[in-house]
Amino acid sequence: MKKWLTKGALLRTISISLVLIIVIVGLVLHTDWGSYSALGIGELIALCPLGYLETFFASRLFIPRAFVVFLGVLLITIVLGKVFCAWICPFPLTQRLLARITNKFFPKNTPADTEAIDTEVPKRARLDTRLLTLVGVLGASLFAGFPVFCLVCPLGLTFALIAGIVYLITGGASLGLTFLFIPVFLVLELLFFRRWCSKICPLGALYALISRGNRFFRPHIDAEACLSLSGRTECSHCYQVCKEHIDIRATQTTKTLADCSKCRDCSDVCPVHAVSFPVLPKKKPDAD
């Protein structure tokens, strides 16, 4: 089963590509659309929540307008969940493409993806190392007096690289020494931090924390239709394809549904179409 060739994967690629195109067009035409850190039009701006918190801790200044925008991002995340990680952030897509390229020339007995998925769910929840990174990043910003993580954030570096290339082509900037280090850092992060999203990313940890309040568009599994839950045969397609390591068949999982990025891969690979994403949670049928 080629798990990377799903309908959801195609739609996510289109979504991420459109955002990249919008950012690049804005750079070329010198519009006020902004970047991934603050993308918007006029008064409608979506700030990077981690960047805002880092800046707040570093400057110790409360800016009402920035706080209102931050609250808007929180509200969107509560409604839609951690969709940013699957539908907007280009880093996971870049990692998957790089993994497929490297696996083509250096074949391995693992899926062509950012990480191999275990077929069994661990019995006990493990420590979320991303939360440790998040606490460390905010603490470092507080003591250093500037947004520390922004210097190495792969998302920020990707945008900086795109911006540098655009300005270089259009004659808006010269090739500086700092610009030369950006692709080096990106390559190092892509090659040596293959588990960035699940083990390191503090932005993903922050979105997961906010998404604990999300109750919309959460994955629902029909127990009667599911091959595994109905006892007809053993099936773990939905868990194997999940990049967040969530097993929607189990009542106890290593990660809660707050980590669900709504990628819909579990629904796409289900052979009996037992997985859906209803707007509101479906009520469990009353026991007789």
Compute the C-alpha angle 124/130/134, nearest 5°: 140
pLDDT, averaged across the chain: 81
Please tell me which residue, 268 or 157, carries the higher pLDDT value. Answer: 268
3-state SS of 137-194 is HHHHHHHHCCCCHHHCCHHHHHHHHHHHHHHHHHCCCCCCHHHHHHHHHHHHHHHHCC
User: Both tokens of residue 136?
Assistant: 């460390």
Distance in angstroms (rounded) separating the CA atoms of residues 216 and 211: 10
Mean pLDDT confidence for 219-228:
92
In percent, how much of the chain has pLDDT > 70? 81
Q: Tens digits of per-residue pLDDT, 44-61? A: 777 799 999 999 999 999
237-276 per-position pLDDT tens digit: 999 988 888 998 885 555 688 999 999 999 999 999 999 9
| Beta-strand pair 220-221/44-47 | unpaired
Residue type, 229: L
- Best-predicted range by mean pLDDT (21-35, 111-125, 258-272): 258-272
Report the pLDDT averaged over residues 57-71.
91
| pLDDT per position as a tens digit, 84-102 | 999 998 888 777 777 677 6
Pairing type for strands 275-276 and 44-47 reads unpaired
Q: What is the dihedral of CA 187, 35, 13, 75, to 10 degrees?
A: 120
pLDDT confidence band for 174 (50 / 70 / 90): low
Q: Where are the domains of the chain?
A: 7-213
CA–CA dist 248, 256 (Å, integer):
9
Confidence of residue 41 (pLDDT cuts 50, 70, 90): confident
According to the model, what pLDDT value does residue 117 have? 46
d(CA 147, CA 59): 9
Bigger pLDDT: 120 vs 131: 131
Higher pLDDT, 197 or 75: 75
Mean pLDDT of 177-198: 75
Q: Region 24-50: what's the mean pLDDT?
A: 79
Q: What is the mean pLDDT of residues 2-8?
A: 64
Distance CA 88, CA 241 (A): 19
| Residue of higher predicted confidence among 73 and 31 | 73
Lowest pLDDT segment from 145-149, 191-195, 263-267? 191-195
Q: What are phi and psi of 283, to 5 degrees?
A: -75, 140
Side chain identity, residue 130:
R
Residues 131, 164: Cα–Cα separation, whole Å: 32
Residues 6+ apart with CB under 8 A from 276: 219, 220, 222, 267
pLDDT beyond 90 at 77? yes
Q: Checking DSSP bridges between strand 38-41 and strand 44-47, what pairing results, if any? A: antiparallel
Query: pLDDT of 124-145, one tens digit each?
Result: 445 788 999 999 999 999 999 9
